[in-house]
Structure 1
Amino acid sequence: MAQKLPYKSLVQLDRNASAALYVQVCNAFIALITKGILQPSDMLPSSRTLAELIGVNRNTIKLAYEELVSQGWAEAVERKGIFVNSKLPTAASRPLPDAHLGPHEAFVWHNRFRNALPSKDLQKAGLAIDDGFPDVRLAPIDHLMREYRSLSRKFYGKNFLRYGSSAGSERLRISITNYLSNTRGLTVSPENVLITKGSQMGIYLAAHLLLGAGDTIATGISNYLLADETFREAGGNILRIPVDACGMDIDYLEKALATTSIKAVYIIPHHHLPTTVTLSSERRLKLLDLAKTHRFAIIEDDYDFDFHYDNKPYLPLASIDHNQNVIYIGSISKTFAPALRIGFMVGSTEFVRAAASLRELIDRQGDTLMEEAFSVMFDNGEVDRHFRKSLKIYKERRDLFCDILASDFEEEISFNVPEGGLGIWTTFSPDINLHKMSHEAGRKGLYIDDGDFYKNESYATNALRMGFASLNEAEILKALKTLKEVLPNAR
């Protein structure tokens, strides 16, 4: 006799699915067999019985059984019925599905990311005071897509759909070298440039080439969390260096070097993340001198060089490095649109070649067609026009945002007006719980961070970055009005 199983609940059908009903029935029985709920030689219910149970035509069940037999999961025994194939190996019997049973691991593995903070999904957020991202509505995406389509239609554009160099589009690397020369006075060749999927990939590649188990890398006591996690994942130990109003304390670093050997310094000299402070010229020169003397690398993360409002920005360390100690990392994503993952790494030819080989192990190459389209945007001046247009708009938004903070949040928030970048480092009064604030704001339709992203084992303060660039004037007014309303409930 057929097993007395609750087939009505075990064989679930979706009548709106693209798969035919008999295929769904067939797949349901395969699942019961592979889970051990049905064992070899078990009899299946008659086609009439099963059709009545799950509410389908009898012919649907006959087709499903025929498919099971043709695939070798079942066998038909004349004048007896349909049985699970007796030659199948016996599967370990599993209990019937129970909604109260929790998940379990099928194999042993080491989860090093159990305590990692979840990524921020701002695609689902409505009104948001983010970390300091560009307004994607300003990006000339139509121009970019037009160039993308134009290239894809041309006979030579089809060639970009084949495998290419893991270092990235040669044309874009040439465009990047021209861009760096014109904006930063950094003169390099295309062989010194690797196109990455944003600055985070550049940090990952540099870390895994520089660090081995137990090697030390110096970072700011306040620092970009994902960079810290990358260095640890590569096996590195982190040496924390204080950061003040003039950037990383290089005198402190010099003293530490007397007793500690380091492989690299990770630094964001232009708008330090999270505090937005800028490394002074004196400290820049001293850091380069220490790198030359002690033979360590400098990973310079220059994620938002293009946005500076009040004065001309300092030249990057890479532009004044005459000993090739600096690995320079930049991002087009952070200044254009975060989801368009285009960044670059600049270093010695051998280092870039090795980074390209490492990149190939985790990501064979980037989107060559998109990289080619970006190169056209650089070469025809569209990227430069976008930067100039957005810079004017972002300065106006920064000023409005800061004016409101100064006038309406004087008792709750302290801050300095940033000279550049897309976010403001804001310190809240001690009686405000940032977790409560974030939760209460979310209930009113406003996303704002809870500050955990800026904390580490050596640094914790009641502060967070408040991005102004992605909000237009009306949105700034609404967001800050909402924030003001929820603060009393965050105490």
Structure 2
Amino acid sequence: MLPYKSLIQIDRESSVTLYIQVCNIFISLITNGTLKSSDALPSSRILAELIGVNRNTVKLAYEELMSQGWAESVDRKGIFVLSKLPLIIRTTAPESIKSIKSQIGFEWTNKLGTEIIHSGRSNHKQPIVMDDGFPDVRLAPIDQLMREYRSLSRKFYGKNFLKYGSTMGSENLRIAISSYLSNTRGLTVLPDNIIITKGSQMGIYLAAQLLLNPNDTIAVGNSNFFSADDTFKYAGANLERIPVDCNGMDVDYLEEILKHKKIKVVYIIPHHHCPTGVTMTMERRLKLLHLAKEFRFAIIEDDYDFDFHYDNKPYLPLASIDHNQNVIYIGSISKTFAPALRIGFMVGPAKFIEAAASLRKLIDRQGDTLLEEAFALMFENGEMERHFRKSLKIYKQRRNHFCEILKTDFKDEIEFRTPEGGLAVWANFNERINLIKMSDEASKNGLYIGNGNFYKNEAFSSNGQRMGFASLDENEIEKALGILKKILQ
């Protein structure tokens, strides 16, 4: 008989009932070849004594095994592993957990490589997190949103939102966003020109898959949003790096490239460029639109945080002044409300949006219709506008406080420009400062801050790091920068 006393280890603190634990262990012994077809199982009395449980627990475990088709009862003989199970060759125990993870029984392709670079986009155990520019979720009117969500779910017509809906997203939310874009950006579009996405990243992916074929060329900034670069590479495209200065992407440089190379798409972040935070001038925007018409390329305009511009009115998006339908406009509510609530949108010609919906259907039938409807109500009752206005005022105060401390306390360590908008400062650290070591030391002292690797690519290797101020209140800003100053000294 097998050494069941050591093989079957139960956890009395677990939320899983004891008989299910016993059943699951037997299933593991069968599937890994320890128990073979037609092997006899010990009697309920013997097994109960061996593993220290009530006999009824073993009987329930055996009944569960038989109900799932792993075992069978033979009259006057006992319980046996099912005789019809295929022969399973027992595998030798791996030397370590690491070797288990490395054993893959099928071929697959990883086009993105294996390195995972973090930029403050996940939970951290440190008391203070200086992310790379996220909203303060404590300011978001979550209670009002959940109230609308619950209210909809209780109404008789709200039950319809639990059924399959449009892959393009809630019509009510598309109508609300259409009105919102018109009022805030002068962008006049119909609901059929809008698809609701799970954040701006889904919009970037859908646009890339529709616009790019293998070996097509897409122009991007020499510094650029890392995840967008990966998305374009995954589509098989070649990246043409264009310099980005204090006035945004260098369109004159792009023009020279266009004279001898076919560019299929240009990806830009004209407001609060990621990572540097610069804003593209209106002169360059108009010239880019002229080049798009002349050279017949598409523009993916990533306008992820248009709503947060502090010192003056933001420039109109390219999509608002494009008269040739060359611009695919991508926006995000996640970046302005709460990152975990994945709501974004993509705007484009109706046929393009229809194609995007068909593609989206292959990987994600639809979004959370009930949540989208709740957001639609938040737009309609003015709650979203109140949230944006309130947040804008608070974030501006935090930006000013943050930048004032950087100017006075870090003048020898950090060079930066006070950003006109956005939720982060692009900080160029003194070359003597090792950002990886700085990040590690900060972690030991209770502060999470990135190490700059997220922003580097083959054309951009600045000793820089985005320093998010929006998600920290003024006391937290002082504590975070106090820890950083101590480390750098």
1:76 deviation in Å? 5.1
**Residues in 1 aligned to 2:453 and 2:362: alpha-carbon distance in whole angstroms:** 32
1:97 deviation in Å? 6.5
CA pair 394-40 structure 1, distance change in 2 beyond 3 A: same
CA pair 55-253 structure 1, distance change in 2 beyond 3 A: same
Which residue number in structure 2 is paired with residue 108 of structure 1? 107
1:69 deviation in Å? 4.9
Deviations 1:269-299 (A, max 9, x none): 1111111111111111111011001110000
- TM-score of the aligned structures, taking structure 2 as reference length: 0.95
Deviations 1:164-205 (A, max 9, x none): 111111111111111111111111111111111111111000
Q: Which runs of 5+ in 2 are unaligned?
A: none
Which residue number in structure 2 is paired with residue 457 of structure 1? 458
Which residue number in structure 2 is paired with residue 353 of structure 1? 354
1:26 deviation in Å? 2.7
1:44 deviation in Å? 3.1
- TM-score of the aligned structures, taking structure 1 as reference length: 0.94
Matches within 5 A, 1:303-452: 303-452=304-453
**Among 22, 25, 28, which residue is 1:28 paired with?**
25
Secondary structure of the corresponding residue to residue 330 of structure 1 = strand
Report the residue type matching 2:50 in the other structure.
Answer: L
**Residues in 2 aligned to 1:276 and 1:343: alpha-carbon distance in whole angstroms:** 21
**Residues in 2 aligned to 1:69 and 1:183: alpha-carbon distance in whole angstroms:** 64
Report the residue type matching 1:45 in the other structure.
Answer: P
Identity within the alignment, %: 69
Report the residue type matching 2:308 in the other structure.
Answer: F
**Among 91, 107, 110, which residue is 1:94 paired with?**
91
**Residues in 1 aligned to 2:124 and 2:174: alpha-carbon distance in whole angstroms:** 30
Contact 1:218/1:265 (8 A) holds in 2: yes
CA pair 72-332 structure 1, distance change in 2 beyond 3 A: closer
**Residues in 1 aligned to 2:169 and 2:337: alpha-carbon distance in whole angstroms:** 19
Confirm or deny that 1:466 pairs with 2:467: yes
Deviates more, 1:382-391 or 1:110-119: 110-119
**Residues in 2 aligned to 1:70 and 1:265: alpha-carbon distance in whole angstroms:** 59
Matches within 5 A, 1:197-208: 197-208=198-209
Contact 1:152/1:369 (8 A) holds in 2: yes
Equivalenced residue count is: 485
CA pair 108-416 structure 1, distance change in 2 beyond 3 A: same
**Residues in 1 aligned to 2:98 and 2:265: alpha-carbon distance in whole angstroms:** 48
Report the residue type matching 1:39 in the other structure.
Answer: K
1:34 deviation in Å? 1.5
Secondary structure of the corresponding residue to residue 102 of structure 1 = helix
**Residues in 2 aligned to 1:388 and 1:400: alpha-carbon distance in whole angstroms:** 19
**Residues in 2 aligned to 1:76 and 1:371: alpha-carbon distance in whole angstroms:** 53
**Residues in 2 aligned to 1:342 and 1:71: alpha-carbon distance in whole angstroms:** 41
Deviates more, 1:53-62 or 1:441-450: 53-62
Matches within 5 A, 1:70-81: 71-75=68-72
Contact 2:301/2:327 (8 A) holds in 1: yes
Which residue number in structure 1 is paired with residue 175 of structure 2? 174
Secondary structure of the corresponding residue to residue 466 of structure 1 = strand
**Residues in 2 aligned to 1:67 and 1:282: alpha-carbon distance in whole angstroms:** 72
Deviates more, 1:326-335 or 1:81-90: 81-90
**Residues in 1 aligned to 2:69 and 2:168: alpha-carbon distance in whole angstroms:** 48
**Residues in 2 aligned to 1:152 and 1:191: alpha-carbon distance in whole angstroms:** 26
CA pair 151-75 structure 1, distance change in 2 beyond 3 A: closer
Secondary structure of the corresponding residue to residue 160 of structure 2 = helix
CA pair 118-391 structure 1, distance change in 2 beyond 3 A: closer
Deviates more, 1:322-331 or 1:150-159: 150-159
Contact 1:309/1:420 (8 A) holds in 2: yes
Q: Which runs of 5+ in 1 are unaligned?
A: none
1:71 deviation in Å? 4.9
**Residues in 2 aligned to 1:328 and 1:85: alpha-carbon distance in whole angstroms:** 59
Contact 1:135/1:471 (8 A) holds in 2: yes
**Residues in 2 aligned to 1:156 and 1:487: alpha-carbon distance in whole angstroms:** 59
Which residue number in structure 2 is paired with residue 117 of structure 1? 117
Q: CA RMSD in A?
A: 1.9
**Residues in 2 aligned to 1:455 and 1:398: alpha-carbon distance in whole angstroms:** 25
Matches within 5 A, 1:117-266: 117-118=117-118, 120-122=121-123, 124-266=125-267
Which residue number in structure 2 is paired with residue 38 of structure 1? 35
1:86 deviation in Å? 3.7
Report the residue type matching 2:108 in the other structure.
Answer: W
**Residues in 1 aligned to 2:32 and 2:417: alpha-carbon distance in whole angstroms:** 61
Secondary structure of the corresponding residue to residue 99 of structure 2 = coil
Secondary structure of the corresponding residue to residue 266 of structure 1 = strand
CA pair 134-460 structure 1, distance change in 2 beyond 3 A: same
Contact 2:118/2:450 (8 A) holds in 1: no
